Amino acid sequence: MADTPELEVMPGDWSRALAVVAHPDDLEYGGSGAVARWTRDGKSVVYTLVTRGEAGIDGMRPEEAAVVREREQIAAAHVVGVDTVEFLGHADGVIEYGLPLRRDIAAAIRRHRPELVLMTNHRDTWPGGPWLNMADHRHVGLATLDAVRDAANRWVFRDQVDDGLEPWDGVRWVAAAASPHATHAIDITDTLDLAVDSLREHRAYLEGLGDESMADPSFLRDAAAEAGTRFGGVLACEFELFPM
Ligand SMILES: [Zn+2]
């Protein structure tokens, strides 16, 4: 789009990132090409999933889907160099914004002590049109932004501190993938194929989508090319970056 400004380069002077998202597949539809590049460059990335994605497959009961999707998420993470995948166990589809969610995410930040926190789009709509985002994504994104501040304050969720989880005030940025207000990007020309392979690990989920366009992982290539039109013409992964 000619009237939108060029994207700036994502910061690279960090060593630990924590990704916090609502569902298995959220990272694979947004930031996994960037994650693959970062892990290849020697950085550490941990995934924290707020749910097990149990409400994500129409034709599969949640008790079974939770097991299948957890397994698929762990496999998808391995493809892009992520070995630690945690599940917080909130209920898929009905995630509530509130203190229990902030508390769990703050604890994850205190455990993993990231400099960069990744999340997915918390805005009302998706890029490129008026398509509405869903409540789970909005709630987890907002709670993640708030939990970064919570994690730094020893007087917030102080029972965690009393139990030995030290406050962590070292988060320097939060980056939201798939935001309609992207500001920064990273070149993923060399890792896009890994991102596609990572998404393909969500086999049961993609089968459940049937012939929806999102079920074809080549969709990621189009999105990367689109982001690249504002980033020097390379294949790119874009983020809305919040300096903390
Ligand atoms: Zn999702």
Amino acid 3: pLDDT: 58
pTM of the model: 0.96
- The CATH number for 8-243, chosen from 3.40.50.10320, 3.90.180.10, 3.40.50.20, 3.90.870.10, is 3.40.50.10320
Q: Could you list which residues have their CB under 5 Å from ion ligand 1?
A: 22-23, 26
Amino acid 209: pLDDT: 87
Q: Is the pLDDT of residue 233 over 50?
A: yes
Q: Is the pLDDT of residue 6 over 70?
A: yes
CA of 26 from ligand 1 middle (Å) equals 5
CA of 24 from ligand 1 middle (Å) equals 7
Structure tokens at 177: 């993938």
Beta strands in 44-191 (DSSP E): 44-49, 85-87, 116-120, 173-177, 184-187
CA of 163 from ligand 1 middle (Å) equals 32
Q: How many CA atoms lie within 13 A of 96 on its CB side?
A: 4
CA of 25 from ligand 1 middle (Å) equals 6
- Listed in sequence order, the residues at least 6 apart from 101 whose beta carbon sits closer than 8 Å to its beta carbon are 50, 90, 95, 139, 140, 143, 147
Q: Is the pLDDT of residue 196 over 60?
A: yes
Q: Is the pLDDT of residue 227 over 90?
A: yes
Q: Is the pLDDT of residue 4 over 80?
A: no
CA of 159 from ligand 1 middle (Å) equals 30
| Dihedrals phi, psi of 141, to nearest 5 degrees | -65, -50
Q: Please report, for the chain, the start and end positions of each structural domain, with discontinuous segments joined by +.
A: 8-243
CA of 155 from ligand 1 middle (Å) equals 32
Q: What is the pLDDT of residues 56-105, one digit of tens each?
A: 999 999 999 999 999 999 999 999 999 999 999 999 999 999 999 999 99
Q: What is the pLDDT of residues 32-61, one digit of tens each?
A: 999 999 999 999 999 999 999 999 999 999
